[in-house]
Amino acid sequence: MSTVPDGKKLVRSPSGLRMVPENGAFNSPFSLDEPQWVPDKEHHCRRCGRCFCDKCCSKKVALPRMCFVDPVRQCGECSLVSQKEMEFYDKQLKVLMGGGSFIVTLGTSKTSETMMCRLSNNHRYLFFDGESHFEVELSRISSMQVLTEESTPEENDIHTYTDCPADLCISEGGNARASGMLLHYKSTGSQDPQQLRMEAADDKKTASSWLAAMHKAAKLLYEARDR
């Protein structure tokens, strides 16, 4: 298991107080860097860094992706994005860290193992625990495909579509319930691509909620990589 320091420190930036990891190398993969402010004496949006008049940048909204302790001033457009992201921080992160039970198959192996998969407390790793243990670093995942099954018993086919923005490939299955996930990643210290297949075990409802939360996490990961 990776031994990653969880120590944090309080720092003051021009935008406000931030609680950040003591070692910057251990930032959450969902976090965003503070933007460069546009030089101006007007008010600045803490998320995009652009300047606005007081009326257009008066709303203070929580911004956990930049580790701010208190709500900060944001423009109308950014405040809407931040408010939508709060659902991920308030709900989906808890689901991911709570974990789900999956039947896991590595590569082309014909042997599978029932394992509990959960997101680490620092949001950097997926931990897989069963008779064996291994982990996948989120920053080393190159593609993610969410597999879904129709909810009606007669329609048990897997339906997927693929959306490949930049280097992160995400697939999902419309309105059907998520039933599994296919990951392609590189192990720490290796450049060889590996494949991992996860299928919901006995508690399919919990597993489906975990997969849906992971799909939302993937979108934030792509956005953070793209900045």
Provide the pLDDT for residue 106. 93
How far is Cα 223 from Cα 227, in angstroms, rounded to an integer?
6
pTM for this structure? Answer: 0.76
Structural domains in the chain, sorted by start: 8-95 (3.30.40.10), 99-149+177-226 (2.30.29.160)
Provide the pLDDT for residue 12. 86
Provide the pLDDT for residue 26. 76
When mean pLDDT is compared across 61-70, 126-135, 137-146, 166-175, the lowest value belongs to 166-175
Provide the pLDDT for residue 226. 64
Per-residue CA distances from 52 to 78, 104, 161 (Å)? 12, 50, 40
Provide the pLDDT for residue 176. 63
Q: What confidence tier does 117 reach under pLDDT thresholds 50, 70, 90? A: very high
Q: Under a CB-based contact definition with an 8 Å cutoff, are residues 172 and 161 in contact? A: yes
Q: What confidence tier does 31 reach under pLDDT thresholds 50, 70, 90? A: confident
135 pairs with which residues across the strands? 127
Provide the pLDDT for residue 33. 84
Q: 95: closest CA among 215, 222, 214?
A: 214
Residue 79 has pLDDT above 90, yes or no: yes
How far is Cα 165 from Cα 48, in angstroms, rounded to an integer?
21
Provide the pLDDT for residue 168. 43
**pLDDT tens digits for range 149-185:** 753 333 433 333 333 333 444 444 445 678 899 999 9
Q: 202: closest CA among 177, 179, 172?
A: 179
